[in-house]
Amino acid sequence: MIVRNDIQAFQETYRVLLQGYDFIYILPHLALRGQISNYTVTYPSKESISDRYTVIPHGSATLVYAYDGRGVSGNLFGPSTKPCMVGVSANQSHMLLIIEFQPAGLFAFTGIEQKELTDRIIPFEMINAALNRFILETLESAASLEELIGLLDGRLLESLSAASPSELKLATKLMIERAGNISCKELSAAVYYSQRHLNRIFENYVGMNTKTFSRMVRINRAIRLMQDPQCSITCVSHESGFYDLSHFIHDFKSVCGMTPQAYRNNMSDFYSEIAKF
């Protein structure tokens, strides 16, 4: 089992997205970046994680492994459209491993229609027992963070089994490039699919329709902007493409369950992925 000091000893610095004393965000192998956004390893403390540690909705699946000093458990958080508490705290968990998927990324490893998993929390052993067992064993046996990430990369590359349509990849790429400010009609024209068929593809591979996913992209763009304390809520609203501040506050609250200012005041209570949007 790796320890906190392994975070600072991680050698592949070109893969590090963000790093602190007790956490690290790491890019996956280049060949996995279409399916996985990042790996996160963190050692919770009362200062860095609260009992209300919550995954912010971002339209993708999240795999969370928690080590409590006695054993490791893994839960899959399906593609999310609403905030969901992780269910761990600094008092309960010694370490967390989080695998953050790209839109439609989980489908590549499971072949399961994502609309069946949307906003659900499921033990990962019920989704892919063999992969779950490998991750559990690797977490317990890895002697370093490099070894852990290398083994995860290798097994996940071997586990790729299902591809999503190229039109879907183009549509999600356009959404992200436009920060969610693109209509279903424009997307439909760009990929030469009817709006109805495009929505069906999004529901099957991403877990939600185009309008909902677009909203997730816009809100997550706003969340990233809010990491800058110099950027006011009004500025965040404008930069995220909202018509006015009241519309931004309304949409933010409908997705995250709180106002933008409430989120900013309690950012340490939330996990929001950092590589995708």
The answer to whether the CB of 231 falls within 8 A of the CB of 57 is: no
124 CB neighbour count, 10 Å cutoff = 22
The answer to whether the CB of 250 falls within 8 A of the CB of 215 is: no
pLDDT value at position 192? 92
Contacts of 230 (CB under 8 A, 6+ apart): none
Q: Hey, what are 38's tokens? A: 């990042």
pLDDT value at position 120? 94
Mean pLDDT, the chain, rounded, equals 88
For 141-165, what is each residue's pLDDT tens digit?
999 999 999 999 999 999 998 888 9
32 CB neighbour count, 10 Å cutoff = 21
pLDDT value at position 162? 85
pLDDT value at position 233? 95
pLDDT value at position 58? 84
For 71-88, what is each residue's pLDDT tens digit?
888 999 999 888 877 665
pLDDT value at position 51? 62
Query: CA-CA distances (angstroms) from residue 105 to 101, 113, 243, 251?
Result: 5, 11, 31, 26
Q: Under DSSP, is residue 39 helix (H, G, I), strand (E, B) or coil?
A: strand
pLDDT < 70 regions, the chain: 45-53, 86-93, 268, 271-277
pLDDT value at position 272? 62
pLDDT value at position 90? 43
The answer to whether the CB of 14 falls within 8 A of the CB of 35 is: no
Query: CA-CA distances (angstroms) from residue 196 to 102, 103, 171, 248, 250?
Result: 23, 19, 14, 27, 27
User: What is this structure's pTM?
Assistant: 0.88
